[in-house]
């Protein structure tokens, strides 16, 4: 029984950096999820196709899955592969899309944003390559939501998503699969599991904070069950619809329990955390935090120590606001390097085309060509593999890295929930000043270039403009400013700060101290307090 339900466009269904994210009550609102889902199927086509479906387990995930399944069946899809309980980490969903050669997948997630009846929800579409839909596709979906008049819905009972196995829904096959097993098998092909088992058997201690989000079952299976890490290594391991009230954003502010333990007297050898949907990671050594930009650089320099990357890397890509630490490694290795706009969708073509093997963002995202999403647990396993081979502490590995390449001091300052008009006014005013900046002196530094980053995809030639304001200095320092595209309330201003120290002296400063002149320059050039009323950031990473 397929019903054609009349509807009308709902304003604002425009996907941002990573899918459509809104407050949960908005998503639960009449026709909201249905309109967007129909727009997805109208753009990519559903008839006879196979999709993957899963989410990060947040509030409304289970209900949304039933709606999407009924709509997929009504739109003529042949088969949907669903993670048990409607759960799949984002990297696991990307893997299932590729493994089963499906026509794409729908991921229900608002990633690192809090979950719950009054918090955030999100939906995004991933392409047959396993990666987030590019801008041309998300734009088409948005346009479709602006003209939609009806959607297709199958009248049927709920599918049993608790039980692994095959069912039918109307004429469509629904395969409920274990969310972990295929992903864990992929990890076994990339990393030296016997060496990692030996590491843990030798007394290596680790803490993994899954933050009550989707990674828990993956981390328990891989770290504790397969690699023999002590029971209880993974904390907050049970995914909860409201993430237990945690803010599942793996940074020093929100993963403060992990940070306290790693900086404390009985710190284990290695600490890690992941986000709501399992694509982000934070890595911490005993007494030392690893900035995501440094993590990407260290992984690039050492990836060949893991079996999956023993042949070396084709190239490395980083998002523009990410520090240039990885570039220095690429140059030393003589491999290609790329600088893309923020968001994993921009890495897809480079990975598909074999131009790069590793990618990373300053926002705790690292990944490789094994899937088409960033992958938190993958990054943690690569670090473990490197630690197992090098038999050094995280602190020693970082110190050696900086001694060899110099150190890109780096920090991101987030100013959250600014009134959108104020944030827009500040960026507009800043843009207007850019042409006059080169040659000017500020805080004893000379500005050499200032622009609004535009990216031409080297594979398909598509152009993405206005991806962030950059101000570059003669000494290699840099300021980047952009507005977040994942928030659901007001505007979040991200200020990215970088300063290079070649060494051998001055490699051990506190990043905030090392960056102090750059921070002052950023505030002054953007007239940040004047426009926003803020003088201190809400979150510093």
340 binds, among Co ion, ligand VG1, none (CB under 5 to 8 A by kind): none
- Is 111 a residue that touches Co ion (CB under 5 A)? yes
Q: Contact letters (x/-) for ligand VG1, 63-102, by CB under 6 A? A: ----------------------------------------
Q: How far is the CB of 396 from Co ion (least distance, A)?
A: 30
Q: Contact letters (x/-) for ligand VG1, 234-273, by CB under 6 A? A: ----------------------------------------
- Is 302 a residue that touches Co ion (CB under 5 A)? no
- Is 56 a residue that touches ligand VG1 (CB under 6 A)? no
Q: Contact letters (x/-) for ligand VG1, 160-189, by CB under 6 A? A: ------------------------------
Binding to ligand VG1, residues 320-379 (CB under 6 A): 342-344, 361, 363, 365
CA atoms of 251 and 282, how far apart (whole Å): 6
Strand, coil or helix: 149:
coil
Q: How far is the CB of 342 from ligand VG1 (least distance, A)?
A: 5
Among residues 100, 64, 105, which one has the least CA distance to residue 85?
Answer: 64
- In what side-by-side order are the strands of the sheet with 281-285? 234-235, 206-209, 270-274, 281-285, 288-290
Contact range with Co ion by CB under 5 A, out of 92-100, 266-274, 275-283, 402-410: 275-283
Q: How far is the CB of 95 from ligand VG1 (least distance, A)?
A: 16
Q: What angle do CA 425, 428, 433 make, to 5 degrees?
A: 125
Q: How far is the CB of 272 from Co ion (least distance, A)?
A: 15
Among residues 536, 520, 529, 502, which one has the least CA distance to residue 444?
Answer: 520
Residue 112 or 286: which CB sits closer to ligand VG1?
112
CA atoms of 532 and 415, how far apart (whole Å): 9
357 binds, among Co ion, ligand VG1, none (CB under 5 to 8 A by kind): none
- DSSP-derived secondary structure for 415-429: EEEE-HHHHHHHHHH
Contact range with Co ion by CB under 5 A, out of 40-48, 278-286, 453-461, 481-489: 278-286
363 binds, among Co ion, ligand VG1, none (CB under 5 to 8 A by kind): ligand VG1
Q: Taking the alpha carbons of 61, 67, 73, 76 in that order, is the dihedral positive or negative?
A: negative
89, 109, 111, 295: which one is catalytic?
111
By beta-carbon distance, which residue lies closest to ligand VG1?
A: 111
CA separation (Å) from 463 to 402, 417, 454, 466?
Answer: 35, 29, 7, 10
Joined tokens for residue 356: 């790069």
Q: Strands, E, within 178-269: which ranges?
A: 206-209, 234-235
CA separation (Å) from 440 to 158, 427, 432, 444, 498?
Answer: 64, 19, 15, 10, 18
* Cα 368 → chain centroid: 13
CA atoms of 389 and 234, how far apart (whole Å): 23
Query: Which residue from 50, 111, 145, 467 is in contact with ligand VG1, where contact means CB under 6 A?
Result: 111
CA atoms of 374 and 9, how far apart (whole Å): 33
Contact range with Co ion by CB under 5 A, out of 104-112, 121-129, 398-406, 467-475: 104-112
Residue 84 or 486: which CB sits closer to ligand VG1?
486
111 in catalytic set: yes
Q: What angle do CA 107, 108, 109 make, to 5 degrees?
A: 105
| Interface residues toward Co ion, by CB under 5 A | 111, 275, 277, 279-280
Which amino acids are annotated catalytic? 111
| Interface residues toward ligand VG1, by CB under 6 A | 17-18, 111-112, 275, 279-280, 319, 342-344, 361, 363, 365, 484-486, 494
């Amino acid at each position: 029984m397929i019903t054609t339900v009349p509807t009308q466009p709902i304003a604002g269904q425009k996907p941002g950096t990573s899918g459509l994210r809104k407050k949960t009550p908005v998503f639960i609102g009449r026709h909201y999820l249905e309109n967007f889902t129909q727009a997805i199927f109208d753009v990519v086509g559903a008839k006879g196709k196979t999709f993957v479906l899963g989410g990060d387990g947040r509030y409304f995930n289970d209900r949304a899955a039933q709606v999407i399944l009924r709509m997929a069946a009504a739109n003529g899809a042949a088969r949907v592969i669903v993670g048990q309980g409607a759960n799949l980490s984002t990297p696991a969903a990307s893997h299932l899309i590729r493994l089963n050669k499906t026509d794409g997948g729908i991921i229900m997630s608002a990633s690192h944003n809090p979950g719950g009846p009054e918090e955030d929800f999100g939906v995004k579409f991933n392409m047959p390559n396993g990666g987030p839909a590019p801008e041309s596709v998300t734009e088409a979906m948005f346009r479709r939501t602006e003209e939609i008049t009806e959607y297709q819905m199958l009248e049927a009972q709920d599918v049993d998503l608790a039980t692994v196995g095959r069912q039918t829904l109307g004429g469509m096959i629904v395969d409920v699969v274990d969310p972990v097993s295929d992903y864990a098998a992929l990890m076994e092909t990339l990393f030296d599991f016997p060496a990692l088992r030996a590491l843990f058997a030798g007394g290596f201690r680790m803490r993994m904070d899954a933050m009550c989000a989707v990674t828990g079952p993956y981390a328990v299976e891989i770290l504790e069950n397969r690699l023999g890490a002590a029971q209880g290594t993974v904390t907050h391991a049970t995914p909860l619809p409201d993430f237990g009230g945690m803010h599942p954003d793996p940074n020093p502010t929100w993963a403060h329990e992990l940070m306290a333990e790693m900086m404390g007297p009985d710190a284990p050898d290695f600490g890690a955390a992941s986000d709501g949907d399992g694509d982000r990671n934070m890595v911490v050594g005993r007494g030392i935090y690893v900035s995501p930009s440094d993590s990407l650089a260290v992984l690039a320099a050492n990836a060949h120590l893991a079996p999956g990357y023993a042949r070396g890397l084709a190239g490395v890509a980083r998002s523009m606001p990410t520090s240039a630490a990885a570039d220095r490694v690429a140059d030393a290795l003589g491999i290609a390097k790329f600088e893309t706009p923020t968001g994993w969708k921009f890495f897809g073509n480079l990975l598909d085309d074999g131009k790069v093997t590793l990618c990373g963002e300053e926002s705790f995202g690292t990944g490789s060509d094994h899937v088409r999403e960033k992958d938190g647990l993958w990054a943690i396993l690569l670090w473990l593999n490197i630690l197992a081979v090098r038999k050094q502490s995280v602190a020693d590995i970082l110190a050696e890295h900086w001694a060899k390449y110099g150190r890109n001091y780096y920090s991101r300052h987030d100013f959250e929930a600014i009134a959108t008009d104020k944030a827009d006014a500040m960026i507009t005013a800043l843009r207007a000043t850019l042409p006059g900046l080169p040659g000017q002196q500020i805080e004893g530094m000379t500005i050499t270039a200032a622009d609004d980053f535009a990216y031409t995809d080297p594979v398909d030639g598509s152009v993405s403009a206005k991806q962030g304001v950059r101000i570059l200095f003669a000494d290699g320092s840099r300021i980047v400013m952009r507005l977040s595209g994942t928030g659901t309330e007001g505007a979040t201003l991200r200020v990215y700060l970088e300063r290079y120290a070649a060494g051998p002296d001055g490699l051990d400063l506190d990043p905030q101290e090392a960056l102090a002149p750059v921070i002052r320059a950023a505030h002054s050039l953007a007239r940040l307090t004047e426009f926003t009323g803020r003088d201190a950031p809400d979150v510093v990473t």
